[in-house]
Copies of this chain bind each other. A is one copy, B any other.
Amino acid sequence: MKSLEVDLGNRSYPIYIGENLLQDSTIFAKHIQGHLSIIVTNPTISKLYGQQVESTLKNIGQKVVQVIIPEGEEYKTWQTLQLIFDGLMSAGADRKSTIFALGGGVVGDMAGFAAASFMRGINFVQIPSTLLSQVDSSVGGKTGINHPLGKNMIGAFHQPVAVIADLGTLKTLPPKELAAGLAEVIKHGAIADANFLNWIESNISNLNACEIPAMEHAVLRSCEIKSSVVAADEKELGIRAHLNFGHTFGHAIEAGMGYGQWLHGEAVGCGMVIASEVSKEMGYINSEEVQRLTEIISQLHLPIKPPQWSAKKYLELMAHDKKAEQGEIKYILLKELGQAIVQKIPNTTIENVLYRFGALK
Which residues in B have their C-beta under 8 angstroms from that of A157? 120-121
A149 contacts B by Cβ under 8 Å: yes
Would you call A154 and B85 a contact (CB within 8 A)?
Answer: yes
Closest residue of chain B to A85, judged by CB?
Answer: B147
In the complex, A85 Cα to B142 Cα: how many Å?
Answer: 19
A358 contacts B by Cβ under 8 Å: no
Closest residue of chain B to A237, judged by CB?
Answer: B95
Would you call A118 and B325 a contact (CB within 8 A)?
Answer: no
In the complex, A78 Cα to B113 Cα: how many Å?
Answer: 14
In the complex, A260 Cα to B135 Cα: how many Å?
Answer: 48
Contact of A117 among B89, B94, B149, B155 (CB under 8 A): B155
Would you call B326 and A94 a contact (CB within 8 A)?
Answer: yes
In the complex, A156 Cα to B118 Cα: how many Å?
Answer: 8
Would you call A119 and B153 a contact (CB within 8 A)?
Answer: yes
The proximity string for A residues 321-343 relative to B, scoring 1 for CB distances below 8 Å and 0 otherwise, is 01011100000000000000000
A35 contacts B by Cβ under 8 Å: yes
In the complex, A324 Cα to B96 Cα: how many Å?
Answer: 11
* Shortest distance from the beta carbon of A76 to any chain B beta carbon, whole Å: 14
Would you call B120 and A325 a contact (CB within 8 A)?
Answer: no
Would you call A120 and B155 a contact (CB within 8 A)?
Answer: yes
A144 contacts B by Cβ under 8 Å: yes
Contact of A118 among B82, B116, B154 (CB under 8 A): B154
> Which residues of A105-130 have CB atoms within 8 Å of chain B's CB atoms?
116-121
Would you call A120 and B147 a contact (CB within 8 A)?
Answer: no
Closest residue of chain B to A114, judged by CB?
Answer: B154
Closest residue of chain B to A82, judged by CB?
Answer: B78
Would you call B322 and A96 a contact (CB within 8 A)?
Answer: no
Would you call A326 and B117 a contact (CB within 8 A)?
Answer: no
In the complex, A288 Cα to B99 Cα: how many Å?
Answer: 49
A150 contacts B by Cβ under 8 Å: yes
Would you call A153 and B116 a contact (CB within 8 A)?
Answer: no
A213 contacts B by Cβ under 8 Å: no
Would you call B89 and A322 a contact (CB within 8 A)?
Answer: no
Would you call A121 and B89 a contact (CB within 8 A)?
Answer: no
* Shortest distance from the beta carbon of A218 to any chain B beta carbon, whole Å: 28
Which residues in B have their C-beta under 8 angstroms from that of A155? 117, 119-120
Q: Which of A120, A142, A157 has the most CB of B within 10 A?
A: A120
In the complex, A322 Cα to B149 Cα: how many Å?
Answer: 34
Q: Which of A90, A117, A144, A322 has the most CB of B within 10 A?
A: A117
- A-B residue pairs in contact (CB < 8 Å), sample of 21: A34-B326, A78-B82, A85-B147, A89-B150, A89-B153, A90-B149, A94-B326, A96-B325, A96-B326, A117-B117, A117-B154, A117-B155, A117-B156, A118-B153, A119-B155, A119-B322, A120-B142, A120-B144, A120-B156, A121-B157, A156-B156
